[in-house]
């Protein structure tokens, strides 16, 4: 592809926005035409990202949807839920492609949106149209998507950990217990003592128990894979590292399958995937190996003693769990090498 795709990043001042910009700056097929932020308006990208942006002339602007619309063809929205749709609607109307990293278009059911986000959804039709930005599962749908709803970090790690098992119908759909450990950057860049160094270092805690907002999104996708209603228990935890997510899932086996069978199932399912690595039985996923990449490590272990199966996945919550995955979806959308800009 000789031509550069013109992109803009809207709401670029949070951790996800920063990571997105770091990746897009080096992406061989994009030209960043605008970066917007209310808070950072007037500041150079270099003042935020540091020397990695020293050759970039980009400056944050405070632009409305109308003002920014003409500047690019593809818009990455790194905005809070609720705000994202305020940009997505006019941009789509103007014929643009939208890659949304918020929760606004992930749920198919407007009722669930209302229940978990306490607001009426502003554009229920788009819930139907949007494509879930998980390339490993929605590659063909992504190729023509106008609106890509990128999954968050918890859904990505849970879904990719379970997909092969559920697709084969090998798990009891009401037996799935998910525990997730998240680096603190998952909470965003907030001036809140809750996320201060002194409160989070040397500390562990669960939160949003038992009804984290990502549960319906996870269950929607797991149910789609299983072809039946899946109900999970999901417990997120804050652990003292900046980036990284480890998800441990335990479920009851339906039917029979030994470790060798599980291993083969997972390796076959993800064969050819550039960013999913199925580990052998000698290793378990570690976040260290995937930090600052779009990779996710997955492992499966059969526990003959209990008749349960354990699933593990490790990713960077800002990488495969957010920014780089959005770029991967963008690559798929525009027929680029899926790895373009993502192997640095």
Between helix 323-333 and helix 15-26 the angle, nearest 10°, is: 50
Out of 12, 149, 159, 291, name the contact with a second copy by CB under 8 A: 291
Going along 14-92, which residue ranges are E strands? 30-36, 60-61, 74-77
Out of 243, 253, 269, 329, name the contact with a second copy by CB under 8 A: 243
Q: How far is CA 183 from CA 15, 205, 206, 242, 328, in A?
A: 12, 12, 12, 5, 22
Catalytic residue (choose from 134, 148, 153, 246): 153
Choose between 24 and 147: whose C-beta lies nearer to a second copy. Answer: 24
Q: Contacts with a second copy in 69-128 (CB under 8 A)?
A: none
Out of 110, 189, 213, 254, name the contact with a second copy by CB under 8 A: 189
- Rule CB under 8 A: is residue 172 a binding residue for a second copy? no
Out of 17, 155, 164, 244, name the contact with a second copy by CB under 8 A: 244
Taking contact as CB under 8 A, which single stretch among the options 93-101, 126-134, 284-292, 327-335 is the one that binds a second copy? 284-292
198: annotated active-site residue: no
Report, in Å, the least distance between residue 125 CB and a second copy: 28
Question: Which x/- pattern over 24-43 shows residues binding a second copy (rule: CB under 8 A)?
Answer: --x-----------------
Report, in Å, the least distance between residue 111 CB and a second copy: 15
Choose between 62 and 283: whose C-beta lies nearer to a second copy. Answer: 283
Residues in contact with 103: Cβ distance below 8 Å, sequence separation at least 6, in sequence order? 81, 117, 152, 213, 214, 217
- Rule CB under 8 A: is residue 143 a binding residue for a second copy? no
Q: How far apart are CA 45 and CA 209, in angstroms?
A: 37
Taking contact as CB under 8 A, which single stretch among the options 82-90, 118-126, 165-173, 239-247 is the one that binds a second copy? 239-247
Out of 123, 137, 239, 257, name the contact with a second copy by CB under 8 A: 239
Choose between 147 and 241: whose C-beta lies nearer to a second copy. Answer: 241
What's the CA angle centered on 140, arms 159 and 278, to 5 degrees? 40
Report, in Å, the least distance between residue 190 CB and a second copy: 7
Name 117's bridge partners: none
Choose between 120 and 191: whose C-beta lies nearer to a second copy. Answer: 191
Q: How far apart are CA 137 and CA 226, in angstroms?
A: 13
Q: Contacts with a second copy in 205-234 (CB under 8 A)?
A: 205-207, 209-211, 231-233
Name 314's bridge partners: 246, 297
Q: Contacts with a second copy in 309-338 (CB under 8 A)?
A: 310, 312, 314
Residue 334: how many other CB atoms lie within 10 Å: 17
**Helix, strand or coil for residue 181?**
strand
Between helix 215-226 and helix 153-167 the angle, nearest 10°, is: 20
Residue 125: how many other CB atoms lie within 10 Å: 9
């Amino acid at each position: 592809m000789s031509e550069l795709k013109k992109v803009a990043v809207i709401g670029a001042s949070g951790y996800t926005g920063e990571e997105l910009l770091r990746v897009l700056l080096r992406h061989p097929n994009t030209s960043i035409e605008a970066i917007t932020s209310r808070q950072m308006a007037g500041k150079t990208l270099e003042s935020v990202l540091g020397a990695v942006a020293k050759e970039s002339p980009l400056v944050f602007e405070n632009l409305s949807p109308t003002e920014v619309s003409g500047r690019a063809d593809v818009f990455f929205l790194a905005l809070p839920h609720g705000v994202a749709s305020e940009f997505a609607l006019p941009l789509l109307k103007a014929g643009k492609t939208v890659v949304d990293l918020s929760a606004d278009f992930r749920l198919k059911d407007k009722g669930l949106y209302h229940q978990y986000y306490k607001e009426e959804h502003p554009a229920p039709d788009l819930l139907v149209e949007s494509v879930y930005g998980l390339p490993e599962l929605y590659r063909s749908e992504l190729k023509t998507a106008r609106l890509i709803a990128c999954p968050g970090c918890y859904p990505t790690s849970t879904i990719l950990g379970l997909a092969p098992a559920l697709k084969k119908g090998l798990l009891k759909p009401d037996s799935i217990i998910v525990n997730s450990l998240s680096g603190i950057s998952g909470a965003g860049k907030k001036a809140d003592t809750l996320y201060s160094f002194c409160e989070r270092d040397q500390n562990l805690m669960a939160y949003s128990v038992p009804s984290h907002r990502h549960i319906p999104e996870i269950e929607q996708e797991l149910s789609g894979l299983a072809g039946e209603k899946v109900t999970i228990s999901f417990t997120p935890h804050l652990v003292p590292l900046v980036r990284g997510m480890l998800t441990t899932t335990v479920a009851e086996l339906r039917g029979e399958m030994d470790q060798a069978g599980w291993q083969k199932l997972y390796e076959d399912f993800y064969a050819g995937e550039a960013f999913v690595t199925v580990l052998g039985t000698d290793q378990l996923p570690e976040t260290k190996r995937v930090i600052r990449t779009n990779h996710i490590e997955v492992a499966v272990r059969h526990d003959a003693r209990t008749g349960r199966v354990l699933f593990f996945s490790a990713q960077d919550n800002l990488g495969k769990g957010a920014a780089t995955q959005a770029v991967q979806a963008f690559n798929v959308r525009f027929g680029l090498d899926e790895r373009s800009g993502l192997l640095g």
